[in-house]
Chain A
Amino acid sequence: MQLFKLKCDDFLEYDESNGTYHMPAEQQVRDEAEKTHWKEVGFTLLKDWRLYLMLVPMLLVYLLWRYMPMTELLSAFKDQYTPGAAGDSSLYDWYGLTNFDALFFGAQSSLFWSAFRNTFVIAFYGLLFGFPFPIILALFFNEVKSNITRSILQVCVYLPKFMSTVIITTLAIVLFRGPLDPAVSDDGIGILSQLMLAIFPSDELYSAATGSSGGLVMSNSYFRALYQISGIWEHGGYDSIVFFAAVIAVSPTSYEAAQIDGAGKMQQMRYVVLPSILSTVVIMLIMKVGTLLSVGYEKVYLMTSTTNYEAGRIVATLSNEWATQGNTSMGIAAEMTNNLIGMILVIGANAIARKATDVSLY
């Protein structure tokens, strides 16, 4: 008995009066609290059933069309799986990492790595040129003190954002289109190709603009540049809204103080404006870095053709191409690799931003 008492001493209490052990009071209280806690959980769930019911349609949509596709990722580890007649992917044998081996080192590797490089280059240039542009635009808008003038200018520069990808790519293609009959003359090249040739006359530009590829957009050498220019044209104005809001939030007294201290325009930018818009810039940069590898495939798809595949084929369109040729597993494997790296980039960018500036997105 004594031995037992010693063993149990640390969690059971020995009652001297009747020689029994019982649980200490705190433990009982804790158990009680636990019980009421779970009761409360159940109660809250029951009480809020209407709220959960309201969530159901949205969760169902996301489950069906955002999470269900992820089950298809398993096909990346299976033998060449073709949807349709044969049906279910579960019928195919496990293939292990063979698809990935072919993708990274084997037969498909040159195509895959060139597409991956294209994706990265397009995204990186998009960040390099597309990110600072709206900030500069916002700083410029801040100089326009007349509200009417500024509104007119803003209405103009936001407009392209509302146009569909089909319209934007169509306009880009026709404005830079090639000659009617490349074999005969350079008649009929797009109006902006003419303009570019007038501003930067060079043999290289001339041969690309008048070549048989069907214009500058459709040529390998100028596809990337025009993709970025049309991207800035499309998003630049609209993306400046958020930076403009941050810039006009800077109080006029800060400028005055800086001016009295004799700061020139550049110094005002450096010491007054930049610190106050920094957090907005960081948030937007995280968002941009996060989408680094999810290049808008719709636009790339619409801007590429047989003549500019080398520069314009990204992982998403390559994967789509493989799938239409019947090699679905390989396509899925390629895009999965791309999207996983993309996800790591988002999480990484967010972590770095949190460490560096106390601003984070998620």
Chain B
Amino acid sequence: MKRKMEISELIFKIISYVFLIVFAVMCIYPFIYAISSSFSITSAVDGGDVVLWPVGFQTQAYRYIFTNNTFWISYANTLFMAFVGTLWCMIYTMMGAYALSKKRLMGRRALNFFLVFTMWFSAGIVPQLLNYQRTGDILASILAPGTTHSQAEYDQKWLIILAMGMNAQNVILLRNAFEGVPAEIEEAARIDGATEMQVLFKVYIPMSKATIATVALFFGISRWNGYFWAMRMMQNQEYSWPVQVYIRDFIDAHSGLIQTPEDGATWAEIIPNDYDINQVSAMSVVYAMVICAVIPILCIYPFIQKYFAKGVNMGGVKE
């Protein structure tokens, strides 16, 4: 039976469409603007004339970036830290979540509390910083004997990989997924003589692929996007900066966009001779860097966004 749509329903539908389309456009517009600006000439970028399409056309901003070694070193650092860091987080989170998913585990409630408490109370930035420095010293004495964290010879990457990115929410997400695996399948594997590790890798992980992908992506994104601690811990180690720190440093130092106490050399002073300052402004370079930093995420985004949607719905914290 087809019912005539009520007037209030029709109005609501129209409002919905208008609102959603406006919001969706707002969400992607900044990126389009950044792409256009990165190709526009100085007078248009600095004068605020770019609206949707590039005004004038230059590719010097990208040429500047592609010939800029420091940028690509920082890019490689980010890739390395994101990849190895995610791997490390996944390994211990999967093993821990597996153990916690076992109802028979003694002290399970206490162990859960141990994790959940970190979501309630954090010591704060300064204590964490002091602690990172102390553990960084210990790590340095193991990895590079005779150095400490503050010395430039020792690379802070490993501390960031080991110590950061932990998230109790992800552990709980995985634990809940593992709890949903039917006990009979595990029993069957055990009768066939599987050890604890084999049960985890041959039964549990294949059976919770979606959640594992979700959690890995949460870790990966937070690693790729991390800024504050890398900035704080690597203040005078430019060669091990991740790309986020590099971009922000470039903005602070050369763009004149943000008033900082220690402004660096202006763009006019550092621009190489074979670039035309009337063509490429510091802002165009910033936009181009933003685009370069965003591209890996944009490339994988269509494939991963469904996992994220799934992960959120599974993420209810229940006890």
Q: A residues within 8 Å of B by Cβ?
A: 41, 44-45, 48, 50-52, 54-55, 57-59, 61-62, 64-73, 75, 83, 137, 139-141, 143-144, 152-167, 170-171, 173-175, 177, 180, 187-191, 194, 213-215, 218, 233, 236-238, 241-242, 245, 259, 264-266, 283, 290, 294, 297-298, 301-302, 305-307, 316, 319-320, 322-323, 328, 331-332, 335-336, 338-340, 342-343, 346-347, 361-362
Contact = CB atoms under 8 A, between A and B. Distances in A.
A51 B166 contact: no
Nearest to A301: B228
B105 A48 contact: yes
A91 B135 CA distance: 19
A270 to B, nearest CB: 12
A51 B48 contact: no
Contacts, number: 280
Interface stretch (B60-68, B92-100, B270-278): B92-100
A266 B126 CA distance: 50
A229 B53 CA distance: 25
B308 interface: yes
Most chain A CB atoms below 10 A, which of B9, B26, B125: B125
Given A51-B105, A335-B127, 6 more contacts: A44-B104, A48-B102, A48-B106, A62-B114, A157-B20, A316-B125
Interface string B117-152: 011111111111111110100000000000000000
B228 A298 contact: yes
Secondary structure call for the B interface: helix
A72 B27 contact: no
Interface stretch (B183-191, B205-213, B254-262): B254-262
Contacts of B24: 152-153, 156-157
B50 to A, nearest CB: 7
A45 B127 CA distance: 35
A290 B28 CA distance: 31
A156 B95 contact: no
A266 B163 CA distance: 50
Most chain B CB atoms below 10 A, which of A69, A160, A161, A306: A69
Nearest to B226: A164
A214 B120 contact: no
B125 to A, nearest CB: 5
Interface residues of B, number: 104
Interface string B212-244: 000000000100111110000000000000001
B163 A159 contact: no
8 contacts: A83-B130, A143-B12, A155-B302, A266-B8, A319-B124, A322-B126, A339-B123, A342-B120
B212 to A, nearest CB: 15
A194 B98 CA distance: 54
A164 B227 contact: yes
B122 A55 contact: no
A86 B133 CA distance: 14
Given A159-B301, A171-B290, A62 B166 contact: yes
Contacts of B123: 66, 69-70, 72-73, 336, 339
B297 interface: yes
Nearest to A156: B24
Nearest to A142: B16
Contacts of B305: 154-155, 158
Contact of B6 (A52, A66, A265, A297): A265
Interface in B236-294: 244-245, 247-248, 251, 257-261, 283, 286-287, 290, 293-294
Contacts of B129: 323
Contact of B20 (A61, A73, A144, A162): A144
A72 B127 contact: yes
Contact of A65 (B99, B131, B302, B308): B131
Given A167-B293, A194-B48, A319-B126, A177 B257 contact: yes
